[in-house]
Structure 1
Amino acid sequence: MPDPHHDTAARTAAPAVDGYPARPGVRAGDTLRLHVSTRARRFRVDVYRCGVTLRHMAALEADGSHAPARRHDEDWDWPGHDFPVPADWPSGVYLAILRADADGPPEPAPKSAEAVDARAGRMLFVVTPRVPAARILYKVPIFTYHAYNESGGGCLYRSIHHRATPPPGGTRIVDLRRPGGGIGGPVKGRPDAHDPRTPRQTFAHWDAPFIAWLEANGHTIDYCTDLDLHTTPEILDGYRLLLSAGHDEYWSAPTRRHVTAFRDRGGNIAVFGANTCWWRVTVAEDGTALACTKFPPGAVLGADPDGLRGAPDHWWESEPENSLIGVSYRNGGGHWLGPRTPLGFTVQHAHHPLFAGTGLRDGDLLGAEHALVGYECDGAALRRDARGTAVATGEDGAPVDFTILGVAELPTDPAAGWYHAVREDGGGGVRAATLGLYTRGGTVFTAATVDWPRVLPLDRRVRVVTENVIRTLS
């Protein structure tokens, strides 16, 4: 989501060595091409798999060669080096650390993705399995990473190459073949006041802590990218549960179509995040670039596209995302700058199996002490019944059987720091994060807040709900 009032990107000096993978995903046993630029005579790449800790998997050394940086909407076409991925490597998210000095042994393995995270000299890629080794598939949001990646002077929010007005037709393009995209590369956005250790819109900030928790608690997980889901729908075959966490904002039409088909044939989906499926992106035929048309005709520079009707690639304006995930950012909101007033979910239907073991009762708050609701959150259009229970109306496209298990009404006073997108009713009605689920073929659960992975290590009851969801749906 844009931050129209306060927004800076990390600025870094030219790194001694930098690079990017030719594709963000590779199947175990195939060859991944790594593109690297350096003025050093030799360079080294150390590859780690992310799990409970980081495990050193391999090292690559090669002769260095320099190539210039390019624009954000161009293939940087840096010198390539083939890296055969062993067939026995487990599926996972892999982080590569580049060093301009190839001599000597690898440095001690970092303890976490947070320790590896940097704005240059890093690469991320995902190894998918040759055959499913688990019942759970985790979706890594590469599209969203690159939407916020400012390598080359721009991203899907702004560009130094379009200073006066949005680009013709309101369409911006970002290339996937450039540094950054989850790790490495400057990132658009302000620091997270509730966890300033890593920038938002990075793998280390949202996905890594969730993955570490999953694997620490004995869950066997396979991994893919949203580009894999876009190009290869059969990658979902054999799985019982598709997981998404944190900030999974940008979806292509084929990705959404393939995930919907997975649900329709009985596959379950759990979204431990929010602002999900908010923007539609068009993927280049060769899978190397993304385009998004955010501005209606006549929009001027500085306009917040989420405050405008007629943005062509708002999912909700053509095919509301509620029909898949039950909720939408347009019925929630965002708080981007500074600490926010602690807000949690007021629990209802506490007898539901997903609350088993939490000790929660109707009316109790979940996660308030850790500001669980934010920094962006999603909601379903709702009304209150005679007992005061929040009930989804379905008027926004949400399934009529969407059951709200927790509701957090958002402050509407501008002084509270919350921002809200335009919606069908012109802005009236309740703005609330709504945690819940529905069943249509398979069951779809949404936590309705981006901060769920941040709070997961901090709150026992959040952990219990997460475990209940995964055990039930997988």
Structure 2
Amino acid sequence: MFRLRRRTALGLLAGGVSAAALGLEPVLDGPPPTRTLSHLDLPPVRAENRAAGEPWWPPRDPRRDADDQHRQIQGYASTTTVAPGESVDFHVAVNPAGRYRISLHRLGWYGGAGARTVLTSPEFDGTPQPVPATDPATGTIACRWPVSWTVRIPDGWTSGLYQAVFTSADGWRACTPFVVRDDRRTAALCVILPVTTWQAYNQWPLDGRTGKSLYNGFGPTGRRDPNLRAREVSFDRPYADDGIPIQLTRDHDAVQWLERKDYDVSYATSFDLHSGRIDPTRHAALVFAGHDEYWSVGMRRAAERAVAAGRSLVFLGANSVYWHVRLRPGADGRPERVVACAKTTPDPGLDADGPTVKWRSLGQPEQELIGVQYNGIVGSPCPLVVRGAGHWFWAGTGVRDDDRIPGVVGGEADGLSPDLPHPTATTATLLSASPYRTREGAPLVQNTYLYETPQGGVVFASGTLNWTMALNRPGHRDERIERATANLLDRITGGTRRPAQPDTPAQG
């Protein structure tokens, strides 16, 4: 199931190290999941969650979590998305040089544990690796670190969001995410993980000097400066500091809730939607779980094709489909390693798809697809104010119009823009109208929105980045939001999910 570089493997075998210890056979942290006859009729993710789990990441600790000032241990993966039978390389740097291990974890519910450890590497010798020079034209920072470990994904691994955790011998740790997709089976719901947005916000190295994202670079005094931002960002680099993308927690909340509620789900990435590796018309719905801001033409056309075919789209976040991006291969020719977004014109990479600016600037406002669109950054969390309480979406929640659900409107918000194009020939319902103030104090209104298409699909937009927190996060969970979201997904999937597993506090 694993392969190391031949010279390394032969050297270790000569020294008496077993094939299992080399990673030529799996090394499991704990027993494999029990597969009994009662599991045979379960979709893979439901069966997977019957296995015992354990938290994949202990509470954050500055005494143990790597940072970009010292870069104690960091790494990145050669691909964001992989199917069983395909391989992923991990590239790791250790400072100062020393021994380390890599452990791989699938994130899910697992009775509240939040993850399951699926594999642990042998120990490797790690060395420091350089921060490469910034491309003077694009601001891109792309590493060419050597391969540390190559993993061929076993056939038995369940589709999901995975984390590779890098741990040095003296206890420093960092990580990087990747997604295992399922190309052989069609789940009712396909969760699209927004890797293009994760990378857009990544300012590695966050050292006050070098790092760049699609938002900022560093000025001479070490302050972030949007005028010095990158126009292109590469996946050939770690995520900043401990390696957890700053937007990933919103997706993680959705993943845990969907698996806790026993929905039949599989997972893919923005790149899979862009490239056609997944067929959006084969799923009852595509679920965009978190902050999904950066979309290519391929991604948008795939979503539009799904709607035209009577399939559904579920946007559990806000500020989706906002920036048009171009996806490029890396310098070595590997596809889907660079996200380009000039954000202004002229765009030096202009092609037939148009400049990489806001979709609304291209005459294709996101509201045309989603029903609402981004209208502001929320100054502080506000209540969601209910509208359309008699709609099936709110059934069983006990809400009435003008009820206020605390803290649900937060982060960023969407609203209905009456003067812009919106989906036609549909039945649309406004499900909230929540006053809020932006960070600058401007008064605006957030809207949760749903429309049903003549082809039988449903497009839902929560209109807030705090929705998934209300589904899953301790201290934020709200039974009304959970019930309404279940009403939506049950309607889309035909109500085929099994009774939910017992609730315990979310972890991981």
Give the Cα separation in 1 of the matches to 2:67 and 2:100.
24
Residue in 1 aligned with 2:385? 345
SS in 1 for 2:196: helix
Unaligned runs of 5+ in 1: 1-9, 108-117, 188-200, 299-309, 383-394, 421-429
2:423 to 377, 395, 399: 399
Please report how far the alpha carbon of residue 247 of structure 1 lies from its aligned counterpart in structure 2 after TM superposition: 0.9
- TM, length-normalised to structure 1: 0.75
2:416 corresponds to which residue?
380
SS at 1:410 equivalent:
strand
Of residues 270, 276, 280 in structure 1, which corresponds to 2:324? 280
Aligned match for 1:219, one of 238, 257, 263: 263
The residue identity in structure 2 corresponding to 1:96 is A
**Aligned residue among 438, 453, 472 for 1:439:** 453
Alignment match of 2:365 (pick from 320, 325, 330): 320
**1:46 to 2:91 alignment:** no
On the 8 A contact 1:410/1:432 being kept in 2, the answer is yes
Is residue 141 of structure 1 aligned with residue 194 of structure 2?
yes
- Partners of 1:219 and 1:164 in 2: how far apart? 43
Structure 1 CA distance for aligned equivalents of residues 454 and 159 of structure 2: 29
**Aligned-residue offset at 1:272:** 0.8
Query: Which deviations, in whole Å up to 9, do the C-alpha atoms of 1:93-125 show, x marking residues without a partner?
Result: 0111111229xxxx9xxxxxxxxxx9x621100
Distance of 2:327 and 2:307 partners within structure 1: 23
Aligned length: 390
Give CA-to-partner distance per residue, 1:145-195, whole Å, 9 cap, x none.
11111113010001238998846xx971111111018x94487xxxxxxxx
Please give the alpha-carbon distance, in whole angstroms, between the structure 1 residues aligned to 2:446 and 2:285: 27
Preserved contact between residue 139 and residue 226 of structure 1 (Cα < 8 Å): yes
76, 88, 96: which one aligns with 1:32? 88
Any gaps of 5 or more consecutive residues in structure 2? 1-65, 206-210, 330-334, 348-353, 494-508
Percent identity over the alignment?
28
Task: Note closer, same or farther for the CA distance 1:259–1:90 as it changes in structure 2 (3 Å cut).
Answer: same
Structure 1 residue 263, shift from structure 2 partner: 1.6
> Who is 2:301 aligned against?
257
Tell me the SS of whatever aligns to 1:396: coil
Q: What is residue 289 of structure 1 aligned with on the other side?
A: 338
Aligned equivalents of 2:423, 2:312: Cα separation in 1:
15
Cα distance in 2 between the residues matched to 1:281 and 1:419: 29
- Report the TM-score when normalising by structure 2: 0.71
Q: 1:126 aligns with which of 165, 179, 195?
A: 179
Query: Equivalents in 2 of 1:224, 1:164: separation in Å?
Result: 33
Q: Name the residue aligned to 2:212.
A: 154
CA offset at residue 257 of structure 1?
A: 0.9
Distance of 1:248 and 1:437 partners within structure 2: 20
Give me the whole-angstrom Cα distance separating, in 2, the residues matched to 1:418 and 1:455. 25
Q: Alpha carbons of 1:356 and 1:271: their partners in 2 closer, same or farther (altered >3 Å)?
A: same
Larger-gyration structure (1/2): 2
Name the amino acid aligned to 1:455: A
Cα displacement (A) at 1:297? 6.4
Is contact 2:217-2:225 (8 Å) kept? no
CA contact (8 A) 1:44 1:60 kept: yes
Whichever residue aligns with residue 42 of structure 1, its letter is: R
Q: d(CA) in 1 for partners of 2:188 and 2:442?
A: 38
Residues 310 and 453 of structure 2 are in contact (CA less than 8 Å); yes or no, is this contact kept in structure 1?
A: no
| Equivalent position of 1:248 in the other structure | 292
- Against the structure 1 CA distance between its residues 185 and 95, is the aligned structure 2 distance closer, same or farther, given a 3 Å change threshold? closer
Q: Is the 8 A contact 2:106 2:117 kept in 1?
A: yes
1:58-77 superposed matches below 5 A: 58-61=119-122, 62-70=124-132, 71=134, 73-77=140-144
